[in-house]
């Protein structure tokens, strides 16, 4: 069969997790037992689900609401916002006699905003509900006590049920594996839905349960309580009077899929909300952008303005009310409502002032934009769609587009000051190729610069001394044989055999592992079969020169971890001694060599340093023969550690492994190349030109990291390097000779001295454009991050253009990110691709996950996912810049238009002796924020561009507007507010002057409240619309329709609403058709007022553009004058920046400017 339908037979072999033959022994020590205590209280009776009624059912709900809770919970969520709660109070008060308008003016806009948000929440939750129904209705075979299995829905499962799960089905709950279609009770599991990793995991049931009869099974499982740790499980099974330890090797998690196994039997131990995948489904850390946090402060400021104006009005109203009562007569009798005894009583002026204060609070509520929050939510969602659909960030090779997993941080993308990046898989391809090796002190393999495109993926090694069996002629042929035999045996790779072609492919947990196995195969040591306890290799027999199949019995696998930095296997060949094969990082391997095993150490160290200088990743290979007694002791201890059911089981296992992995004999070192992704150097250079500092946090050696730094343009030759390093021979000698506490103090003092010297270098270079790079190793970083040094270290680091942290652990990555975020005050972006980057991504203001080959854990913990590092350039410089400008201008304009509208109400109130009489009809008030002014500002937030994407990338200096927060500083915000107050003052007083005490039409009728309010409202609509036109930098057809349509809708509303019966339209009845439209005064006044109001902004804009241009203004000028390729353009744009650029930024600009100038010099 063709293509993907071609039948494949996959021979899957064991991937053991510290497997030992004695794993089934009931070996417990009382000191280790925690079962029955806090955290270990779950008891499961297999085959007796009725005994587990105290545990939850298996229904999983991901919805935020239920049908009964939707209304109250959704309303509660809405009114938790201070602004919405304020409008709710205003709405309630609008039903009282205190209201200056009818309830419709307050209720309509509030209802519209709340309903819009509730509809959005409801639709999203309904989609989640449909997914829940589909998942909970799936069926699985459940044992019913008679040896038969009946299909039941997932939601009906209970703890203690025994299930039969078929091939390619998902596990419906957390199960303990009992047996499978394989004789040795193993199965293969895909965990992509849990951790994103695509490689299969091998699980194995206990020996005692692999042939159990389920009809009569009476087993008791005691285990840990439900928790979120996917990689740990502690428990015991009591069966036939004996106890057997349970580990993660027997645990099958809900959400993972059974692969390459016909079926398995398992017992349910955790259901529904207790399963580990649901325990892990908590919301990620809540992140809010700087602009959103500042917006809350603006809302509070507006509350203060509203309260202040209401208080001022109340005081003045009380004073004039007290003075209004003369000789028992009320002079302003017309202000008193017919049925009022309190609101205007000169004899009780303080009470009247208090009532006026409450009325004024309602009237002044229009200062606060009620639709601001919902409008921003709509805009951010649509902005995220634009990011997701950007074809320039689509990685066709892997069919992966960009994915904005949250829309809360769009504008934050335009304010990033520091990028903290992982290296492997983020800057590099994480596609390892075996390039070189050092064996017995001899270097093999060509230089990287001579390596051609590999014929075999993962293998780019060329050396005739080893290839084609020529290694047998080498002086150290026996060492070469042990070297490649170790590569062929010491791993956790699973082979796959294609039935049609017989070709073997390898499924490995990491690209490194695959590269090693492939390298061994290409040299002549082909790994091809793995069983539960054996590994088979085809290799060349040195004696007879023929290829033979050798089978190695795998006794133990000591798994790799980031803390151990090594992995080992213990194997036995035929009847030989147990053999420990180990490979790991040089930082932990050289110190584990025996005295007799260091024969090639000096040469190997030199070669490792050379490889690191070339940017290659290195591992040290070593071995040791174990005597039988030593191995028996190890077997007993590892069994005891594995059998422990205490929370520190992993620590006990590590302790036992630590004692066996010593006194090793050195074989050599490997060197694999992880190539840079396409476009990484250009991307980093462009980000640096934008003033963004780049930190690289890597686990590589310092030499490797520095070499990669130069390759990716993070470091430049003219940069001065400040190196903080404790990995020196003197330090290593000191560590072996002294006491730990004394050594720690000495090392910490040395780190402090190096940091101080670095700061002195920075200070000495003050005023120069030269840039510095800081490189620090992991051991030094551990001291630099201590409380008394971390801010000194940060001061040095922030003065450098680039920072590289070598040998960094996942915890150190997260701590460095937190330090930069809290200590520098800059917006931080972390980018990574692996599980070890999750902490860093969650600590940063923005986490960007690379959807690479290390699974999807980083993506699932990120805010935005991209497929390649180079897309970060467009994500920040284009989308980030646009989103920052759009959201900033949108919020500022929102407050401008509401202040303009609200302050005309206050001025009219003052004009009418603070009588709280609104200037406008109730429906005018209701629809201002909902219908006449909101859609244009939403379009501004969606479509506006100051310059095109091409110019954003051509002139990265534009990005500094966001980093320096020029468009949303308090100065800019207050200037917009001041502009709003000025516009309102001009509109009100010009309308008052034009219409007061004058004949409005040919009949000589003066302007009343209906005419004055209608005219002033028209002026407000025109002014805020024209202000929008001047604010928009880039017009689309949609914007034209919406912006000018809002004015048209106002006039249509006047005509339609005014045509309704008077009981509906009240004082707006026929006001436009019969009074305003026929009157020349209305049109002349509107034209005059609008032009007068806009004139100051025109003058201000002209002065700013001419004498104080911002970067985008200068670029537009260059564009229109066709000077975009002039050599002086960079200098002009750089000088347009309002504030000085960051360290390193100026140096990049100067370097590029010199390059441009050279390119424009005439030839000889």
CATH number at residue 846: 3.40.50.1000
Which residues belong to the annotated binding site for ATP? 422-424, 513, 560, 583, 617, 698-700, 807, 813, 836-837
The enclosing domain of 174 has a CATH number of: 2.70.150.10
The Cβ-side half-sphere exposure at 898, using a 13 Å CA radius, reads 27
Which residues belong to the annotated binding site for Mg(2+)? 422, 424, 833, 837
Is 14 part of any domain? no
Listed as ranges, residues in the chain with pLDDT below 70 are 1-39, 192-193, 195-199, 281-286, 323-347, 447-455, 532, 562-563, 643-647, 727-740, 766-770, 852-857, 997, 999-1006, 1111-1164
The single residue of 390, 422, 685, 1010 carrying the catalytic annotation is 422
pLDDT, position 353: 81
Say if residue 205 is in the same domain as residue 331: no
pLDDT, position 2: 40
DSSP secondary structure, 610-670, as one string: HHHHTT-EEEEEEEEE--HHHHHHHHHHHHHHHH--STTHHHHHHHHHHHHS-SBEEEEEE
pLDDT, position 1120: 52
Enclosing domain of residue 297:
292-368
Locate 988 and state its tokens. 């009100």
Which residues belong to the annotated binding site? 422-424, 513, 560, 583, 617, 698-700, 807, 813, 833, 836-837
The enclosing domain of 454 has a CATH number of: 3.40.1110.10
Largest CA distance in the chain: 132
Is 78 part of any domain? no
Is 471 part of any domain? yes
Say if residue 544 is in the same domain as residue 583: yes
Say if residue 410 is in the same domain as residue 436: no
Q: What angle do CA 1068, 1070, 1073 make, to 5 degrees?
A: 125
3-state SS class at 933:
coil
pLDDT, position 49: 80
Nearby residues of 588 by Cβ (< 8 Å), 6 or more positions away: 564, 565, 566
Say if residue 363 is in the same domain as residue 387: no
Instruction: Tell how many helices (H) and how many strands (E) occur in the chain.
Output: 37, 35
Burial (CB < 10 A; 0-12, 13-18, 19+), residue 763, is: exposed
Locate 990 and state its tokens. 């010009």
Is 641 part of any domain? yes
End residue of a domain, out of 635, 658, 673: 673
Q: Phi, psi (5° rounding) for residue 278?
A: -75, -35
Is 77 part of any domain? no
pLDDT tens for residues 41-70?
889 988 888 777 789 999 988 788 888 888
Say if residue 624 is in the same domain as residue 712: no
The percent of the chain in helix, strand and coil, each rounded to the nearest 5, is: 50, 15, 35
Neighbours of 944 (CB within 10 A): 19
End residue of a domain, out of 866, 885, 903: 866
The domain tally of the chain equals 6
pTM for the whole structure:
0.77
Say if residue 1104 is in the same domain as residue 1127: no
pLDDT tens for residues 404-444?
888 888 999 999 999 999 887 788 887 788 999 999 999 99
pLDDT, position 392: 94
Say if residue 519 is in the same domain as residue 622: yes
Say if residue 1044 is in the same domain as residue 1125: no
Say if residue 357 is in the same domain as residue 378: no
Is 987 part of any domain? yes
Say if residue 775 is in the same domain as residue 854: yes
Quick check: is 663 catalytic?
no
Say if residue 265 is in the same domain as residue 380: no
Say if residue 413 is in the same domain as residue 484: no
Is 684 part of any domain? yes
């Amino acid at each position: 069969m063709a293509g993907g339908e071609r039948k494949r037979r996959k021979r899957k072999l064991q991937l053991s997790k510290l497997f030992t033959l004695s794993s089934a022994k009931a070996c417990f020590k009382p000191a280790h037992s925690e079962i029955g205590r806090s955290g270990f209280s779950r008891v499961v009776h297999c085959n007796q689900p009725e005994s587990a009624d105290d545990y939850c059912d298996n229904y999983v709900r991901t919805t935020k609401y239920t049908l009964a809770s939707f209304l109250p919970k959704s309303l509660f969520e809405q009114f938790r916002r201070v602004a919405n709660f304020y409008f709710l109070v205003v709405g309630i008060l609008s039903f009282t006699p205190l209201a200056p308008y009818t309830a419709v003016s307050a209720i309509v806009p509030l209802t519209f905003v709340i309903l819009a948000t509730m509809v959005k929440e409801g639709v999203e939750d309904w989609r989640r509900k449909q997914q829940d129904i589909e998942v909970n209705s799936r069926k699985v075979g459940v044992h019913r006590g008679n040896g038969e299995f009946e299909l039941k829905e997932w939601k009906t499962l209970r703890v203690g049920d025994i299930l039969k799960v078929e091939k390619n089905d998902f596990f419906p709950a957390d199960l303990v594996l009992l047996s499978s279609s394989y004789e040795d009770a193993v199965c293969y599991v895909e965990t992509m839905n849990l951790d994103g990793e695509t490689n299969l995991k091998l699980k194995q049931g206990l020996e005692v349960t692999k042939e159990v009869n389920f009809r009569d099974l009476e087993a008791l499982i005691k285990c840990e309580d439900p928790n979120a740790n996917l990689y740990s499980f502690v428990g015991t099974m009591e069966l036939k009077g004996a106890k057997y330890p349970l580990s993660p090797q027997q645990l099958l998690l809900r959400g993972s899929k059974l692969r390459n196994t016909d079926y398995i039997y398992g017992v349910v131990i955790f259901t529904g909300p207790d399963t580990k995948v649901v325990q892990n489904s908590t919301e990620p850390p809540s992140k809010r952008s700087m602009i959103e946090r500042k917006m809350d402060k603006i809302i509070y400021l507006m509350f203060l303005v509203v309260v202040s104006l209401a208080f001022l009005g109340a005081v003045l109203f009380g004073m004039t009310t007290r003075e209004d009562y003369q000789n028992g007569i009320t002079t302003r009798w017309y202000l008193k409502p017919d049925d009022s005894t309190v609101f205007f009583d000169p004899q009780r002026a303080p009470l009247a002032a208090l009532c006026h204060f409450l009325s004024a609070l309602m009237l002044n509520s229009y200062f606060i934009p009620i639709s601001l929050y919902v409008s921003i939510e709509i805009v951010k969602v649509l902005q995220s769609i634009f990011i997701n659909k950007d074809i320039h960030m689509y990685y066709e090779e892997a069919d992966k587009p960009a994915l904005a997993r949250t829309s809360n941080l769009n504008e934050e993308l335009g304010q990033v000051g520091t990028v903290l990046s992982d290296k492997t898989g983020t800057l590099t391809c994480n596609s390892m190729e075996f390039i070189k090796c050092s064996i017995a002190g001899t270097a093999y393999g060509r230089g990287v610069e001579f390596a051609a495109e590999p014929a075999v993926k993962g293998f780019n090694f060329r050396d005739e001394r080893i290839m084609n069996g020529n290694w047998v002629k080498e002086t150290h042929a026996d060492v070469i044989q042990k070297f490649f035999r170790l590569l062929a045996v010491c791993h956790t790779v699973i082979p796959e055999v294609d039935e049609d072609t017989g070709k073997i492919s390898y499924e490995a947990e990491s690209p490194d592992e695959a590269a090693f196995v492939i390298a061994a195969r290409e040299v002549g040591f082909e790994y091809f079969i793995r069983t539960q306890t054996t590994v088979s290799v085809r290799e060349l027999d040195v004696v007879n020169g023929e290829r033979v199949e050798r089978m190695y019995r795998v006794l133990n696998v000591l798994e790799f971890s980031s803390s151990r930095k090594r992995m080992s296997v213990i194997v036995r060949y035929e009847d030989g001694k147990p053999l420990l094969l180990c490979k790991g990082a040089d930082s932990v391997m050289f110190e584990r060599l025996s005295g007799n095993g260091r024969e090639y150490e000096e040469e190997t160290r030199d070669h490792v340093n050379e490889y690191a200088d070339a940017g290659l990743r290195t591992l040290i290979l070593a071995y040791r023969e174990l005597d039988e007694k030593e191995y028996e002791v190890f077997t007993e201890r590892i069994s005891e550690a594995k059998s422990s059911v205490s929370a520190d089981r992993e620590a006990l296992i590590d302790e036992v492994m630590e004692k066996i992995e010593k006194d090793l004999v050195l074989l050599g070192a490997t060197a694999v190349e992880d190539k840079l992704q396409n476009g990484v150097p250009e991307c980093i250079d462009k980000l640096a030109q934008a003033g963004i500092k780049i930190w690289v946090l890597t686990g590589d050696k310092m030499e490797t990291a520095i070499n990669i730094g130069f390759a990716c343009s993070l470091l430049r030759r003219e940069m001065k390097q400040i190196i903080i390093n404790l990995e020196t021979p003197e330090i290593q000698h000191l560590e072996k000779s002294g006491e730990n506490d004394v050594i720690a103090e000495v090392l910490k003092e040395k780190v402090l001295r190096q940091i101080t010297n670095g700061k002195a270098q920075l200070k000495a270079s003050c005023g120069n454009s030269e840039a510095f790079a800081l490189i620090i190793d992991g051991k030094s970083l551990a001291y630099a991050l201590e409380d008394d040094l971390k801010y000194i270290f940060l001061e040095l680091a922030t003065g450098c253009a680039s920072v590289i942290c070598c040998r960094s652990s996942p915890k150190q990555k997260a701590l460095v990110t937190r330090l930069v975020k809290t200590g520098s005050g800059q917006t931080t972006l972390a980018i990574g691709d692996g599980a070890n980057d999750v902490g860093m991504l969650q600590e940063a203001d923005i986490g960007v996950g690379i959807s690479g080959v290390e699974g999807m854990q980083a993506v699932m913990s990120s805010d935005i996912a991209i497929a390649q590092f180079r897309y970060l350039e467009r994500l920040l410089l284009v989308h980030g810049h646009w989103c920052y400008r759009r959201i900033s201008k949108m919020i500022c304009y929102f407050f401008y238009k509401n202040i303009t509208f609200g302050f005309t109400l206050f001025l009219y109130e003052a004009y009418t002796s603070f009588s709280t009489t609104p200037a406008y009809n109730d429906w005018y008030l209701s629809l201002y924020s909902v219908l006449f002014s909101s859609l244009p500002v939403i379009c501004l937030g969606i479509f506006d561009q100051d310059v095109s994407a091409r110019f954003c990338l051509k002139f990265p200096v534009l990005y500094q507007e966001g980093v320096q927060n020029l468009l949303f500083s308090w100065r800019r915000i207050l200037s917009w507010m001041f502009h709003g107050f000025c516009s309102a003052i001009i509109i009100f007083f010009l309308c008052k002057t034009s219409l007061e005490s004058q004949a409005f039409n040919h009949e000589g009728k003066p302007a009343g409240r209906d005419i004055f309010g209608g005219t002033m409202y028209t002026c407000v609509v025109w002014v805020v619309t024209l202000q929008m036109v001047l604010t928009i930098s880039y017009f689309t057809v949609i914007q034209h329709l919406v912006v000018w349509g809002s004015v048209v809708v106002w006039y249509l509303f006047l005509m339609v609403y005014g045509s309704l019966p008077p009981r509906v339209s009240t004082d707006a009845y026929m006001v436009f058709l019969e009074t305003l439209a026929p009157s020349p005064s209305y049109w002349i006044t509107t034209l005059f007022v609008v032009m007068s109001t806009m004139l100051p902004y025109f003058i201000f804009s002209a002065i700013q553009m001419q004498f104080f241009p911002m970067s985008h203004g200068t670029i537009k000028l260059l564009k229109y004058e066709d000077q975009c390729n002039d050599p002086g353009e960079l200098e002009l744009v750089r000088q347009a920046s309002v504030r000085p650029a960051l360290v390193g930024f100026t140096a990049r600009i100067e370097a590029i400017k010199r390059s441009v100038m050279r390119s424009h010099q005439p030839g000889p």
